[in-house]
Amino acid sequence: MSSAGGSKTVGVSMAAFDDNFLTVLRNGMTEYAGTKEGLELAVEDATNDVGKQLNQVENFIAAGVDAIIVNAVDTSATQAITDAAAAAGIPLVYVNREPINVDALPDNQAFVASNEVDSGTLQTKEVCRLLKEQGATAANIIVMQGELSNQAAVVRTKDVHDVIATPDCSFMTVVEEQTGNWQRQQGADLMTNWITAGIKFDAVISNNDEMAIGAIQALKSSGVSMDDVIVAGIDATQDALAAMQAGDLDVTVFQNAAGQGRGALDAALALAEGQAVEQKVYIPFELVTPANIQDYLTAN
């Protein structure tokens, strides 16, 4: 799809359009593309369907795009996407979700995201600090996981356990841990079930903001005072920041969605020009609390 005038087309397959965080990432990429003369983005919604995503990549290849950007539906099923792009000689950049084959990517493929080891670690350390500030010597924690097929959910959950395993935070105990598949309604349903079952807990550590907001809604519906429980999420979405301003959400972690989108596009365009790029580009995570929320209200 390249033309003599230097125009370029980049095919983008997003895991889902109806995800708040991924929408910010997609919009950031689209807005950034608008600043590049002669650049066309062809953005497709994989609707969380692995087969559909691979089909989209194959269609991009058939159309002769200059580069492909993929936000993986299933991070354990990315080898087929890598192989298809490599066989066609078309540069490929994975964004936000780490492909299982990240350490074996061909030279013209790369990964742009934030390092998930930092996300859950920053989140859980802050929950630990807040509990200690309250004088807690023993605390029950419930963990809401994202989709279990997703590398971010696996690592963020491991981060929680790794922090709790340190002497400083060993007074924390995970009493419940289930997946809410990144969804607000599923987070609310999980929380309602735990409350109904009589589970006692001091903090909720959620792999993302959407499930944390669902948990908050269920807690409030059940008459639980938000002063009595610490709730932590990840992403610093606008809805999450509003919940923090309302005094409901205690902790979130800013993941620069727009920054990831821009970084992925920069990498894709560089590869399309035959330039070498870093194969792993990390945009830093940042802890967000009521003390510094003003710095993030217009960030995503």
- Give the DSSP letter string of 89-113: T--EEEESS--TTGGG--TTEEEEE
CB–CB of 203/141 below 8 Å? yes
Is there a domain that residue 266 lies in?
yes
Q: Please say if the pLDDT value at position 149 is more than 90.
A: no
Does residue 29 sit in the same domain as residue 93?
yes
Assign 21 a pLDDT band (cuts: 50, 70, 90): confident
String of DSSP letters for 130-160:
HHHHTT-SSEEEEEEE--TT-HHHHHHHHHH
Q: What is the token pair recorded at 156?
A: 């963020």
Q: Please say if the pLDDT value at position 187 is more than 80.
A: yes
Assign 20 a pLDDT band (cuts: 50, 70, 90): confident
Q: Return the pLDDT at 298.
A: 83
Assign 178 a pLDDT band (cuts: 50, 70, 90): very high
Report, as an integer, the average pLDDT of 92-100: 96
| CB under 8 A, 24+ apart: contacts of 269-273 | 269/8, 269/10, 269/36, 269/39, 269/67, 271/67, 271/91, 271/93, 271/108, 271/109, 271/110, 272/8, 272/10, 272/66, 272/67, 272/91
Does residue 126 sit in the same domain as residue 234?
yes
Assign 300 a pLDDT band (cuts: 50, 70, 90): low
Reported as a single tens digit per residue, the pLDDT across 223-250 is 999 999 999 999 999 999 999 999 999 9
Is there a domain that residue 299 lies in?
no
Average model confidence (pLDDT) across the chain: 95
The rounded percent of the chain whose pLDDT value lies above 90 is 93
Is there a domain that residue 1 lies in?
no
Is there a domain that residue 67 lies in?
yes
Does residue 187 sit in the same domain as residue 131?
yes
Does residue 191 sit in the same domain as residue 204?
yes
Does residue 173 sit in the same domain as residue 273?
no
> How many angstroms separate the CA atoms of 213 and 88, rounded?
43
Does residue 188 sit in the same domain as residue 75?
no
Q: Return the pLDDT at 271.
A: 97
Does residue 196 sit in the same domain as residue 214?
yes
Does residue 245 sit in the same domain as residue 134?
yes
CA distance to 140, 165, 173, 174, 230, per residue, from 177 (Å) = 11, 16, 11, 7, 16
Is there a domain that residue 261 lies in?
yes
Does residue 229 sit in the same domain as residue 131?
yes
Domain residue limits at 83:
8-113+256-283
Compute the CA torsion angle 225, 227, 229, 233 (nearest 10 deg): 110
Assign 140 a pLDDT band (cuts: 50, 70, 90): very high
Assign 1 a pLDDT band (cuts: 50, 70, 90): very low
Is there a domain that residue 222 lies in?
yes
The pTM of the whole model exceeds 0.85:
no
Is there a domain that residue 292 lies in?
no
Q: How many domains does the chain have?
A: 2
Does residue 156 sit in the same domain as residue 208?
yes
Q: What is the token pair recorded at 215?
A: 């948990």
Report, as an integer, the average pLDDT of 17-46: 95
Assign 80 a pLDDT band (cuts: 50, 70, 90): very high
Q: Return the pLDDT at 3.
A: 39
Report, as an integer, the average pLDDT of 15-30: 93
Assign 167 a pLDDT band (cuts: 50, 70, 90): very high
Q: Please say if the pLDDT value at position 209 is more than 80.
A: yes
Lookup result for tokens 């279990």: 148
Does residue 103 sit in the same domain as residue 183?
no
Q: What does DSSP say about strands 203-206 and 172-179: parallel, antiparallel, or unpaired?
A: unpaired
Does residue 146 sit in the same domain as residue 62?
no
Is there a domain that residue 296 lies in?
no
Report, as an integer, the average pLDDT of 156-176: 98
CATH code of residue 62: 3.40.50.2300
